[in-house]
Amino acid sequence: MSLDLPRILAAHDRIRPHIHRTPVLTSERLNQACGGELFFKCENFQKVGAFKARGAVNAVFSLDDATARRGVATHSSGNHAAALARAARLRGIAAHIVMPSNSPKIKARAVEGYGGQITFCEPNQAAREAACAKIIAATGATLIHPFENEDVMAGQGTAAVELLQDVADLDLVLCPVGGGGLLAGTAVATKGLRPSAIIIATEPAQAGDAADSFRAGHVVPLTKADTIADGLRTNIGAPNFAIVQRHVSDVVTVREDSIVAAMRAIWEAMKIVIEPSAAVPYAAILEGRVNVAGRRVGIILSGGNVDLDALPWMPRA
């Protein structure tokens, strides 16, 4: 089975009782500033505060009963962790979550609140994968990878389905990229529903492996991810990158100060809370990395889980 539009539409039917259909919002102020029409798909209003609820629910509810009873496991910096814990609770099964030690406290609290069993590890990919493998060996739980699992990708693609149902004639879709689950699902859904639309991925320059990989034509390992956008500190997955190569026109990177400026601009203009990762696509517009003048542009606002005691524009102690 491979990721295609029918699979994403089936995921949408499966998860509909367990997610919000989030709104698409616009801002005249932001439109005037960039010269285009921006349509923000507000996954910051989603269950668990992020699009990750979609993929986690689809993956968990796609399991047969015998497999589900053994529980699920994953490694995640936060949003997928909380989403999987919630999805597991909805199905009445255990969720084992490996989180890096530097995960935002708000995200760890969310996992605990949904009943997830947390194991902390060193903040690198090897440590995450080793800790998760150990738990799976001990419990028999099924790995629900945060972005390489095709049921997860299909679930994430449902956000773009809704966006294109609400705004059918988009010229361009901007999507943040970390591991690539959201981007893969968005790309397949968009090309299935609106083949003429251009898809551009956006990521922090300080975690720019997707852009490096796109230029090289193969996955380039992420050696360091020193970015405020904690949800995008992950190397792009191999199956995700294959989809990117087929459907995505470009991957652009943005500076840290642009991410902060974009986050603050959206808070101020739209009166909504978004996290740094969600601000990355608008940061690309602020930097002029993407030309949106005269175009109708869909932007996936990926989440809104922010530590309100450590906002990036607050003075540092």
Q: Are residues 158 and 255 in the same domain?
A: yes
Q: Are residues 37 and 88 in the same domain?
A: no
Q: Is the residue at 247 inside a domain?
A: yes
User: By the 8 A CB rule, do 25 and 270 touch?
Assistant: yes
| pLDDT of residue 261 exceeding 90 | yes
- pLDDT on residue 317: 62
Q: Are residues 115 and 179 in the same domain?
A: no
Instruction: Report the predicted TM-score, pTM, of the whole model to 2 decimal places.
Output: 0.94
Helix 238-247 with 150-166: angle, nearest 10 deg: 30
**Is there a catalytic annotation at residue 62?**
no
| pLDDT of residue 233 exceeding 90 | no
Phi, psi of 194 (to 5 degrees): -145, 75
> Which residues, at least 6 apart from 76, have a Cβ–Cβ distance to it below 8 Å?
84, 97, 98, 99, 146
| pLDDT of residue 281 exceeding 70 | yes
Q: What CA–CA distance (Å, rounded) separates 157 from 277?
A: 17
**Is there a catalytic annotation at residue 302?**
yes
**Which residue out of 52, 62, 103, 258 is catalytically annotated?**
52
- pLDDT on residue 1: 60
Q: Are residues 102 and 187 in the same domain?
A: no
- pLDDT on residue 125: 77
Tens-place pLDDT, residues 282-294: 999 999 999 999 9
**Which residue out of 27, 103, 213, 302 is catalytically annotated?**
302
The token duo for 204 is 């922090």
pLDDT (average), residues 220-230:
89
The token duo for 159 is 């956000």
Spatial strand order of the sheet with 250-254 comes to 24-25, 37-42, 296-301, 172-176, 198-204, 250-254
Share of the chain above pLDDT 90, in %: 85
User: Total domain count for the chain?
Assistant: 2
Regarding beta strands 24-25 and 37-42, do their DSSP bridges make them parallel or antiparallel, or are they unpaired? antiparallel
Side-chain-side CA neighbours of 257 within 13 Å: the count stands at 1
Residue-range definition of the domain harbouring residue 220: 5-50+149-301
| pLDDT of residue 278 exceeding 90 | yes
